[in-house]
Structure 1
Amino acid sequence: MRYVHVDFEFPPGVRHPMHDFLDGGDDRRSELLTWRRLPDETLATLFRVAAPRERYLDRLRDIAAIERFETSPGEPPFYLKAYERLGGPTETFLDAFVDTEFLSVPPVVFRPAGRLSFGLVGPPEQLRDALAAVPDRITVEVDRIGSYGGGRRLAGVRLTERQREALRAANRVGYYEVPRTGSVEDVAAAIDCSPSTAGAHLRKAEAALVDAFVGRWE
């Protein structure tokens, strides 16, 4: 199976109001875990939300398209099931993938500044037409195409290509073995840079991955 991971950036004019709410702080994000488009053109969704609970729900109540919702108890992160009437940019965006064979790999991650990330399993030859149907104002970046091997993926974690190369090299040379059989110098040699640069790539990549994992489950 072929796997594609895509990053989108929605400008304010085509951004969902709840996506705008996430701009209130870098610690805010929401993850769309599953969804269904109902026959009456209502979108049923299940989100995991990391944001101030009452302010988030107050904002949700102000959106006319939200017909009803329910939440899990407790402090953030919390779970939200919502029913929303489709229309506008949200429907246009979803329609880009309707006639394709792609299956989304949850979660779909919403972050501040209108950023959205998700993975797809399906035929890469359909990708160009699907992305061409995305509204023009939405910025699209395909950051990975490869084989899908299953497992949990931390969608929404932004790593540079050099950081990815460093992680792959570190894994290959035994840097993450216990006991460790490879060194930062080995990683540097594998990706053709200085040890200090290789170390910086690894630290930044590891910090992003740990932050995403801890932020999801704490």
Structure 2
Amino acid sequence: MRYVHVEFEFPPGVRHPMHDFLDGGDDRRSELVTWRRLPDETLAALFRVTAPREAYLERLRAIDAIERFETAPGADSFFLKAYERLGGPTETFIDAFVDTEFLSVPPVVFRPAGRLSFGLIGPPDQLRDALAAIPDPITVEIDRIGSYGGGRRLAGVGLTERQREALRAANHVGYYEVPRTGSVDDVAAAIDCSPSTAGAHLRKAEAALVDAFLGRSG
């Protein structure tokens, strides 16, 4: 099975209001657990949301396209089941994958700055056409491609946005190359902080990833 992990960036003009809400803090994120497009063109979706609950729901109530929703508590987060009338960029984005054989691999993760990432399993010859159908203002980056081998849901590890920035910068400057070609100082310069702060971000992120891989809880 061929696997590809894709990250999209939605600019403010085409970003869903609830995705835009995540810009309020580095620790805010939302995971799409499962979804279904109903015959009446309503999107029924279940999310796991990490954000201030009451502020999030107040914003949700102000969106005309949201027909109804319900919530349930979770550890350090809450679950949201929502029904939304499709239209605009959201519908166009979904339509890009509707007529393909791709299956999404959870989690589908929404993060601040309009970023959305998820994995796909499907025929490589359909990938180009699917990505070409994404509306032009939305940028696409393929950050992993190969054979699917299962594994743990490392993409869903609860890192802060700053920790993710540090990891991306470390990978870019060669900090994880063998032999290492980049330093903590290089990471610090890339994310505009002190070396001690960059080192702390990396250590905490690496510890969370190791714990997730080994199945340990915090």
Q: Same fold (TM over 0.5)?
A: yes
> What is the TM-score of this pair, normalised by structure 2?
0.77
> What SS does the aligned partner of 2:135 have?
coil
Q: In the alignment, residue 205 of structure 2 is paired with which amino acid?
A: A
Matched to 1:163, the amino acid is: N
Deviation at 1:123, TM superposition (A): 1.2
Q: Does 1:193 align with 2:193?
A: no
Name the counterpart of 1:152: 152
Indicate conservation of the 8 Å contact 2:184/2:199, yes or no: no
Match of 2:136 in 1: 136
Q: Which of structures 1 and 2 has the bigger CA Rg?
A: 1
For the residues of structure 2 that align with 1:194 and 1:5, how far apart are their CA atoms? 25
1:56 counterpart residue number: 56
Cα gap change, 1:161 to 1:20, in 2 (>3 Å): closer
Task: Show structure 1 runs of 5+ residues with no match.
Answer: 168-187
CA RMSD of aligned residues (A): 3.1
What fraction of aligned residue pairs are identical, expressed as a percent? 73
Residue 99 of structure 1: how far off its partner (Å): 1.1
Deviation of 1:126 after TM superposition, in Å, equals 1.1
Describe the shift of the 1:117–1:210 C-alpha distance in structure 2 as closer, same or farther (beyond 3 A). Answer: farther
Compared CA separation, residues 209 and 193, structure 1 to 2 (3 A): closer
User: Following superposition, which runs of at least 4 residues in structure 1 exceed 4 angstroms of deviation?
Assistant: 156-159, 164-167, 194-197, 200-206, 209-214
User: What's the CA shift for 1:203?
Assistant: 8.0
User: TM-score, normalised to structure 1's length?
Assistant: 0.77
CA 1:43–1:207 in structure 2 vs 1: closer, same or farther (change >3 Å)?
same
How far off is 1:191 after superposition?
3.4
Q: Determine the structure 1 residue equivalent to 2:38.
A: 38
How many residue pairs match? The answer is: 195
